[in-house]
């Protein structure tokens, strides 16, 4: 079957586009996650930009003001926090170097044989030493790659600014490229926006706020290594079904063991009334308000864990988003809706 000139031209154009697309991917690949990070930040702070743009009609000036403001509220605290965090982390590392689990093992297994106790102590000591060494090896790698990290931060800031300023143009461009029917496109965009909002705002942002609230409790009640515990609490608050209770409950137990019963009780009341409320009330309200359909906790958890391995820290957001988007398309296929999605 002979191909007419129009078909040959179309195939040639598609081949050129595909070839250039592959080359573009390899060019952007080293900074792809930074580009995505900048776009996600722009998505999160676009409502702030929109309000500023109502007062200041010049989009470049409005985007500049928002960008400078965000950089200041993120960079200035980190400038003071990072040295203190490194200091506390090093102190923990030194204390774990001399870690001896014999007291813990003997308390847990008082009737254990001497051979069993000795082997358990050796295994536990080795396990803790390897974990601590691995964590601090990673921190050392971060310091060695500081110039590359700064370059990625520059890319994120660059993308963030232009995504804010030209957000409408970018959205229009994506709409023009979309092969979907307008009606189906609106439905999918609405679903994806609800999913994105429920994960970004309901899971990530609220998790960060909850972890910071737990950190404020550590500071208020004079907990040792409060900054290090706050970072751990923030990380655990972002992950569903875990939360900062894994941090503050052992801290409360230590307070009670040290004979600080009144302080420990006040600490527990603070975490139950304040920290847990953020999770049980505010997170639920935001997810219900921003998403028409509930995103499965299992999907979010699996997405975060898998995304963490594939995309590092950014995977906490990308993992559940990709997994949920895939399941949404899969449901459309199951409902035989995909065949009617595309333009003729």
Place of tokens 């963490």: 308
Domain termination residue (choose one: 143, 177, 211)? 177
For residue 111, being part of any structural domain is answered with yes
**pTM score of the predicted model:** 0.66
218 pLDDT more than 80: yes
**Would you place residue 142 in the very low, low, confident or very high pLDDT band (cuts 50, 70, 90)?**
low
* Structural contact between residues 219 and 226, judged by C-beta atoms closer than 8 angstroms: yes
Per-residue pLDDT, 94: 67
Average pLDDT over residues 177-201: 69
pLDDT tops 70 at residue 12: yes
Q: Is 307 in contact with 315 (CB distance < 8 Å)?
A: yes
For the chain, the 3-state helix, strand and coil shares in percent, each to the nearest 5, are 85, 0, 15
Q: Which two tokens stand for residue 222?
A: 């004079």
Residue that terminates a domain, selected from 150, 177, 204: 177
Structural domain for 299, as ranges? 180-344
Q: What confidence category does residue 334 fall into, taking pLDDT thresholds of 50, 70 and 90?
A: low
Number of H helices, E strands in the chain: 16, 0
Query: Is 5 a domain residue?
Result: no
Q: 86-139, pLDDT tens digit by residue?
A: 777 776 666 666 666 666 666 666 666 667 677 776 777 677 677 666 666 666
Q: Are residues 203 and 129 in the same domain?
A: no
How far is the C-alpha of 169 from the C-alpha of 299, rounded, in Å? 32
The pLDDT assigned to 75 comes to 76
Mark whether 205 and 254 lie in a shared domain: yes
**DSSP letters spanning 212-246:** HHHHHHHHHTT-TTHHHHHHHHHHHHHSTTT-THH
Q: Are residues 194 and 314 in the same domain?
A: yes
Residue 247 contacts residue 215 (beta carbons within 8 Å) = no
- 230 with 342, same domain: the answer is yes
Long-range contacts at 183-186 (CB < 8 A, ≥ 24 apart): 184/337, 184/340, 184/341
Q: Is the pLDDT of residue 286 over 70?
A: no
Question: With the CA atoms of 294, 299, 305 and 311 taken in that order, what torsion angle do they form, in degrees rounded to the nearest 10?
Answer: -80
Q: Which residue, of 143, 160, 177, is where some domain finishes?
A: 177
For the chain, how many structural domains are there in total? 2
126 plus 272 within the same structural domain: no
242 and 116: one domain? Answer: no
Q: What average pLDDT does this structure show over 53-80?
A: 84
For 224-267, what is each residue's pLDDT tens digit? 888 888 888 888 888 777 778 888 888 888 888 777 788 888 88
Residues 229, 341 within the same domain: yes
* 99 is a domain residue: yes
* Same-domain status, 184 and 121: no
DSSP H or E stretch at residue 61: helix 59-97
């Amino acid at each position: 079957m002979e191909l007419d000139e129009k078909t040959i031209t179309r195939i040639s154009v598609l081949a050129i586009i595909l070839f250039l697309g592959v080359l573009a991917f390899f060019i952007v690949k080293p900074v792809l996650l930074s580009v995505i990070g900048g776009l996600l930040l722009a998505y999160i702070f676009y409502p702030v930009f929109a309000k500023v743009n109502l007062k200041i009609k010049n989009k470049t000036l409005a985007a500049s003001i928002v960008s400078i403001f965000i950089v200041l509220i993120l960079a200035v605290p980190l400038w003071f926090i990072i040295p203190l965090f490194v200091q506390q982390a090093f102190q923990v590392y030194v204390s774990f170097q001399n870690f001896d689990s014999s007291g813990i093992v003997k308390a847990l297994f008082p009737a254990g044989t001497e051979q069993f106790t000795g082997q358990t102590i050796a295994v536990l000591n080795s396990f803790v030493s390897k974990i601590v060494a691995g964590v601090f090896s990673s921190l050392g790698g971060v310091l060695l790659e500081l110039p590359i990290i700064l370059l990625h931060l520059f890319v994120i800031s660059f993308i963030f600014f232009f995504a804010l300023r030209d957000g409408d143009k970018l959205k229009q461009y994506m709409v023009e490229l979309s092969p979907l029917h307008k009606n189906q496109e609106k439905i999918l965009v609405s679903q994806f926006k609800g999913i994105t909002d429920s994960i970004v705002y309901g899971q990530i942002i609220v998790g960060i706020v909850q972890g910071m609230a737990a950190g404020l409790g550590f500071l208020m009640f004079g907990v040792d290594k409060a900054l290090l515990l706050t970072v751990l609490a923030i990380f655990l608050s972002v992950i569903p079904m875990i939360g900062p209770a894994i941090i503050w409950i052992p801290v409360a137990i230590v307070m009670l063991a040290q004979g600080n019963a009144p302080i420990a009780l006040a600490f527990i009341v603070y975490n139950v009334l304040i920290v847990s409320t953020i999770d049980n009330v505010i997170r639920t309200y935001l997810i219900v308000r921003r998403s028409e359909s509930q995103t499965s906790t299992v999907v979010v958890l699996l997405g975060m864990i898998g995304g963490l391995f594939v995309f590092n820290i950014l995977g906490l957001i990308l993992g559940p988003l990709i997994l949920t988007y895939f399941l949404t398309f899969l449901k459309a296929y199951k409902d035989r809706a995909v065949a009617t999605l595309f333009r003729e």
